[in-house]
């Protein structure tokens, strides 16, 4: 029986990768097909396979669809208002040209919280062109720190879609994920960003050329950087506050029940993001002259980019549920408990393997979460440890971006790099981020 389950799991993963890599089938459809194949090979009745998939998708999307949708809406308003560019410009004004790489890293770190990676990169990359032309230094000195900040937030810190999806599949607390995402992500961003950029920019000198002539929208009356930072921080602070109040570290005996009720209400990701959207809608939109019809168009456009993330996450939840229902999850957990691998390292390696084979960091995160979730199902791991597994999976999925990743070509195109130069800069940077994130997660695992 164990051999049959193992064969079913390995066949399902192999077919998933074959469908995505060889046949170029969309990952959402490939995940659903793999669910059916795993269920059939494990001997599940036909209707039970489909009911399990339905339950897995339903239980996952109930949370993820709401959070991703709210996050996309928030990001759309910030993008169209010019707030992202204003925040980056403010950082540069405060730090000066000498510390500009650090300012670009911080800007990327902050902007990617509400805005998708590729959108944030395209919005902010013209600033790196201007810096490179002004100083005469390699474009990589400024672009790589920006990319490091964007990549870390995109993979490590909710409410971006990847960590939201993984946290939901693993049953992790978002407050802990945010906290550990910052603790593990910051050293990864520093090493992969300003420090590595200083090293590689001396060896690869890139001058902004024709590729730097991207379309820049002139934004009149953009919101202040302080307002942007305040609104971005609101949902994060509320979620972390709720987590701390409900953790064993804080005694609630002296806190009035009414206060606890309000903290739990506004600290839930749904409410926290609704509050952030309302603040952005009014202070960034209405008060700065955006018409209500224009804001509605922004909202509609923002939801389009969120759709594929939501569907992929739902399919990942279905894959997780199939592994649990077949009993293969318990088998994997049993084998893992007898090995030297802890769940954190296991999740990292699975995510890294899927990332290298098929390219998409989001697919790698969701697939690895589905495979790792049954390992955590025996209840011997505390909320903090489960949240660290989320960070480890995010780190593995961030690693070794190469030719099968759209980000590889996006970065190469906008920075004017050859394939070899993209490997030497962008790909190496993603590996530094991944392994620094893993080491930080392991250190935190043994500290807590």
Q: What is the pLDDT of residues 358-415, one digit of tens each?
A: 677 887 888 888 888 887 866 678 889 999 999 999 999 999 888 667 678 778 877 8
Lowest mean pLDDT among 209-218, 327-336, 410-419: 209-218
| Confidence bin at 416 (pLDDT 50/70/90) | confident
DSSP string, 359-390: --HHHHHHHHHHHHGGGGTTS-S-HHHHHHHH
User: Which residue would you say has higher pLDDT here, 334 or 178?
Assistant: 178
User: Which residue would you say has higher pLDDT here, 69 or 340?
Assistant: 69
Q: What is the pLDDT of residues 117-145, one digit of tens each?
A: 776 787 677 678 777 877 888 999 999 99
In the numeric block, which tokens belong to residue 15?
């077919």
| Confidence bin at 331 (pLDDT 50/70/90) | low
Output the pLDDT for position 88: 67
Q: What is the pLDDT of residues 231-274, one digit of tens each?
A: 878 887 887 788 777 765 566 667 788 888 898 899 888 888 88
Q: What percent of the chain has pLDDT over 90?
A: 24
Given a cut of 60, is residue 336 above it in pLDDT? no
Residue 219 CB coordination number (10 Å) = 15
Domain ranges of the chain: 2-447
- Using alpha carbons, list the distances in angstroms from residue 130 to 94, 98, 124, 149: 17, 14, 11, 19
Output the pLDDT for position 334: 58
Residues 79, 111 contacting (CB under 8 angstroms):
no
């Amino acid at each position: 029986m164990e051999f049959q389950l193992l064969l079913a799991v390995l066949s399902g993963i192999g077919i998933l990768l074959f469908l995505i890599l060889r046949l170029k089938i969309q990952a959402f459809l490939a995940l659903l097909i793999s669910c059916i194949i795993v269920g059939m090979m494990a001997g599940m009745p036909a209707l039970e396979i489909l009911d399990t998939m339905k339950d897995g998708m339903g239980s996952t999307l109930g949370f993820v669809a709401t959070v991703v949708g709210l996050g996309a809406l928030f990001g759309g308003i910030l993008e169209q208002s010019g707030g992202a560019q204003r925040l980056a410009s403010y950082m540069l004004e405060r730090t000066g040209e000498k510390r500009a790489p650090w300012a670009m890293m911080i800007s990327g770190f902050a902007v990617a919280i509400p805005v998708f990676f590729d959108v944030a990169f395209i919005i902010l990359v013209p600033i790196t062109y201007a810096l490179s032309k002004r100083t005469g230094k390699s474009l990589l000195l400024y672009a790589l720190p920006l990319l490091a900040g964007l990549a870390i937030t995109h993979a490590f810190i909710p409410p971006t879609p990847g960590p939201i999806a993984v946290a939901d599949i693993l049953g992790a607390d978002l407050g802990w994920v945010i906290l550990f995402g910052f603790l593990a992500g910051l050293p990864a961003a520093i090493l992969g960003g300003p420090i590595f950029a200083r090293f590689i920019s001396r060896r690869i000198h890139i001058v902004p050329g024709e590729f730097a002539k991207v379309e820049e929208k002139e934004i009149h009356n953009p919101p202040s950087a302080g307002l942007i930072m305040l609104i971005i921080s609101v949902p994060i602070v509320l979620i972390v506050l709720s987590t701390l109040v409900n953790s064993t570290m804080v005694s609630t005996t002296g806190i009035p029940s009414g206060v606890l009720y309000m903290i739990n209400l506004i600290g839930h990701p749904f409410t926290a993001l609704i509050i952030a959207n309302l603040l952005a809608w009014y202070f960034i939109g209405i008060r700065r002259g955006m018409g209500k019809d224009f804001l509605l168009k922004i909202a509609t456009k923002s939801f389009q980019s969120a759709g594929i993330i939501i569907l992929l996450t739902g399919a990942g939840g279905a894959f997780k549920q199939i592994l649990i229902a077949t009993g293969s999850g318990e088998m994997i957990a049993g084998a893992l408990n007898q090995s030297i691998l802890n769940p954190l390292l296991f999740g990292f390696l699975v995510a890294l393997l899927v990332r290298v084979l098929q390219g998409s960091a989001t697919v790698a995160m969701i697939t690895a979460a589905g495979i790792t979730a049954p390992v955590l199902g025996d209840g011997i791991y505390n909320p903090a440890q489960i949240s660290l597994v989320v960070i480890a999976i995010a780190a593995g999925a961030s690693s070794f971006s190469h030719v099968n990743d759209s980000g590889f070509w996006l970065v190469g195109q906008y920075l004017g790099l050859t394939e070899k130069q993209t490997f030497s800069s962008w790909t190496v940077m993603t590996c530094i981020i991944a392994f620094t994130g893993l080491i930080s997660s392991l250190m935190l695992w043994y500290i807590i």
